[in-house]
Amino acid sequence: MSSIDSLAVNLISELVTYFYQHYIFATVLFLITYWILVCLLKPRNLPPGPINIPFFGGSWILTSNPYNDFERLWKKYGNLVSVYVGNKLMIYIFSKRLIKEVYISRGDDFQARVTEDLPFEDVLFHQPYGEAWKKSKKVIVQLHKKFIMNNIENEALKSLEDLSWELQQTQSKLVNPKNLLRQFHTQIIFSLYFNERKPIDDTELKEVGSLMSQVYTATSVHYNSWVLFVPFSSLIFRRALNKPSVVVSKLRRHYEVRYEERLSRIEGKNPSEASDIMEALMIELGDLTKIQIIDTMIILSIDAIHSQTIALQTCLLYLAYYPKLQGEIHDLLDKSTDNQPPNLTHRQDLVLIDALYLETLRTDDILSESSSHRPIKDTTLEGYNIPKNAILVPVSSSIHFDDGIYPNSEKFDPKRFIKDGKLSFKRDEYLSFGIGPRSCTGEQFSRTVVFLTIARLLHQFRISLSMKDYFNEKQLKTTEYFDNSLLDVSLVFSPRR
Ligand code: HEM
Ligand SMILES: *[C@@H]1O[C@H](CO)[C@@H](O)[C@H](O)[C@H]1NC(C)=O
């Protein structure tokens, strides 16, 4: 060993001993160095926001109530706020003008999705904006029309027979319909996507439905919990981090069987001969791998099963909470349907049901966080720098609770969406399904199923809460994204006929 080397070894061992003896000093020194490095490496001229502390960034400002957090950030820093959540840069957008700029007029610049924490393979909808995404979005929109929108009424009406029979069996006892609603949606999805109509209490339906909810919850943790953005958190929170991929691999097994069945059938077929949406995807996007097709089908199922269930349950809860509103819909139904079960031909007489759904999502925006986008390259907004890796979050409550846009915005009032007897809302003032080129492809599906379900359930039942759960309006409104307490509320379904 040369003398320089042994000097270095000596020096290091001296230092180690010194820091070992003065570990508090060492820790402080480390934190200060880390902080200085973070500050030096941080991009310049970002939108304003809370100051960063080591490891936590600006996330110390966040609580478990995003509505309150947003309100405070907006008041303090203005329409564009940057917060380092651990080491991720989030940029919250609080104005209609800026949200429109990011999602519509400069939509092409801000179309990349935030996908790195999701346990899926390179799925169609997760691709960065570009030719590949455009092609796949076009295909999926066409297939959606052909295989879903053309059959949705029939399939939903069949499943509604099962659902109302099951609810009839509850004999006006207090029940939580959540699992039943999820089985109902899973039944519809299996019919629509795979041409398989299963009984509503089928074991596989139940399992797939439950896995869909699990994967949603597990991946939401990834999106939102600041804890998981902190460096080294994966060591501490390994269980939570691993969970999504475990759930996804269970789900894939169910979808893989369907994939294999189709593989032999599609030989030599052209797209117009496909008999369901999975077959069509396999023929039309033949360059996708097996796992990409499977994951695309799973992604298309999560919202259609889990989000739909939450949305519908929330609507039912509001109906129980506002008996007068429910009574009005009962009257409209009785007038328009002549004692027959309602279907889409009655929709124009029952605009109030569609309006109820819009108002439910306006006040209780269950999916807004999934509209987070990122710029496709380093760019600017309002003169501030927006780096490529920033996550932009449109804060829908800044529009949905703006009294200038929705007068008396705190009030639950479906009729605000009805003008001259017709449903009416401005696309760029309603964010629940997203806006711009990357907005939700399932919006019509979602609204049609919810319409048919509420019409049918109210045709047959009066829905009420137990007195205990007749909580105040404030609580209904400030639901938090992942506080599913609303979903734990039980309801009574009393037969009307
Ligand atoms: C409860 C009902 C639903 C709500 C509130 C909802 C909301 C949303 C939102 C906010 C986005 C993100 C928009 C953006 O990034 O700007 C989105 C995207 C999407 N949704 Fe929905 N959705 C619902 C149901 C559905 C259903 C039933 C399907 C499928 C059948 C679906 C399929 C999709 C797809 C494929 C995308 C990605 C579109 C793209 O990246 O181009 N959604 N949805
Ligand atoms: C819808 O309801 C009307 C009136 O009850 C009925 O005549 C029609 O056949 C129904 N349509 C479907 C698709 O069930």
Q: Are residues 21 and 48 in the same domain?
A: no
Nearest-angstrom CA–CA distance, 430 and 423: 13
Least confident of 57-61, 137-141, 166-170, 270-274: 57-61
pLDDT tier, 469 (very low <50, low <70, confident <90, very high otherwise): low
Helix (H) or strand (E) holding 428: none
Q: Identify the pLDDT of residue 199.
A: 97
Q: How would you label 92-124 residue by residue, b for 16+ Cβ within 10 Å and e otherwise?
A: bbbbbebbbbbbeeebebbbbbbeeebbbbebb
Q: Identify the pLDDT of residue 272.
A: 87
Ligand approaching nearest to the C-alpha of 161 = 2
Q: Are residues 161 and 31 in the same domain?
A: no
Cα–ligand 2 centroid distance for 345 (angstroms) = 7
Cα–ligand 2 centroid distance for 158 (angstroms) = 13
Q: Are residues 244 and 256 in the same domain?
A: yes
Residue whose CA is at the smallest distance from ligand 1 atom 30: 442
Q: Are residues 46 and 26 in the same domain?
A: no
Pocket flag, ligand 1, residue 484 (CB < 6 Å):
no
Q: Identify the pLDDT of residue 74.
A: 93
Q: Are residues 391 and 420 in the same domain?
A: yes
Q: Identify the pLDDT of residue 76.
A: 95
Helix (H) or strand (E) holding 377: none
pLDDT of residue 221 exceeding 70, the answer is: no
Least confident of 15-24, 205-214, 405-414: 15-24
Q: Are residues 428 and 356 in the same domain?
A: yes
Pocket flag, ligand 2, residue 345 (CB < 6 Å):
yes
Percent share of the chain, pLDDT over 90: 53
Residue whose CA is at the smallest distance from ligand 1 atom 36: 440
Average pLDDT over residues 174-201: 96
Q: What is the CATH number of the domain that holds 464?
A: 1.10.630.10
Pocket flag, ligand 1, residue 83 (CB < 6 Å):
no
Task: Look up residue 84 and give its DSSP letter.
Answer: E
Least confident of 2-16, 100-114, 433-447: 2-16
Q: Identify the pLDDT of residue 2.
A: 64
Percent share of the chain, pLDDT over 70: 88
Average pLDDT over residues 400-418: 94
Least confident of 24-33, 223-232, 414-423: 223-232
The CA–CA distances, whole Å, from 90 to 226, 229, 381, 422, 488 equal: 11, 11, 14, 39, 31
**pTM, 2 dp:** 0.89
Q: Identify the pLDDT of residue 454.
A: 98
pLDDT of residue 43 exceeding 60, the answer is: yes
DSSP assignment of 25-66, as one string?
HHHHHHHHHHHHHHHHHSPSSPPP-PPPBTTTBTGGG--S-H
Q: Identify the pLDDT of residue 104.
A: 93
pLDDT of residue 18 exceeding 60, the answer is: yes
Pocket flag, ligand 1, residue 370 (CB < 6 Å):
yes
pLDDT of residue 285 exceeding 90, the answer is: no
Pocket flag, ligand 1, residue 446 (CB < 6 Å):
yes
Q: Are residues 457 and 379 in the same domain?
A: yes
pLDDT tier, 481 (very low <50, low <70, confident <90, very high otherwise): very low
pLDDT tier, 242 (very low <50, low <70, confident <90, very high otherwise): low
Q: Are residues 447 and 476 in the same domain?
A: yes
Q: Which residues pair with 391 in a beta bridge?
A: 90
Q: Are residues 21 and 79 in the same domain?
A: no
Average pLDDT over residues 386-410: 92
Q: Which residues pair with 145 in a beta bridge?
A: none
**Residue 98 or 288, more confident:** 98
Q: Identify the pLDDT of residue 480.
A: 44
Q: What is the pLDDT of residues 307-362, one digit of tens each?
A: 999 899 989 988 998 999 999 999 999 999 988 999 999 999 999 999 999 999 99
Task: Look up residue 130 and give its DSSP letter.
Answer: S
Cα–ligand 1 centroid distance for 162 (angstroms) = 27
Cα–ligand 1 centroid distance for 298 (angstroms) = 13
**Residue 33 or 347, more confident:** 347
Pocket flag, ligand 1, residue 139 (CB < 6 Å):
no
The rounded mean pLDDT for the chain is 86
Pocket flag, ligand 1, residue 438 (CB < 6 Å):
yes
Q: Are residues 325 and 458 in the same domain?
A: yes
Q: How many independent structural domains does the chain possess?
A: 2
Binding site as annotated, residues for heme: 440
Q: Identify the pLDDT of residue 479.
A: 45
Q: Are residues 409 and 446 in the same domain?
A: yes
Three-state DSSP class for residue 268 = coil
Cα–ligand 2 centroid distance for 344 (angstroms) = 8
Residue with tokens 């003896």: 21
Range of the domain at 15: 1-41
Q: Are residues 158 and 240 in the same domain?
A: yes
pLDDT tier, 452 (very low <50, low <70, confident <90, very high otherwise): very high
Q: Identify the pLDDT of residue 173.
A: 93
Q: What is the pLDDT of residues 82-139, one digit of tens each?
A: 988 777 888 999 999 999 999 999 988 998 888 776 778 777 777 776 777 788 888 8
Contact 453, 354 (CB under 8 A): no
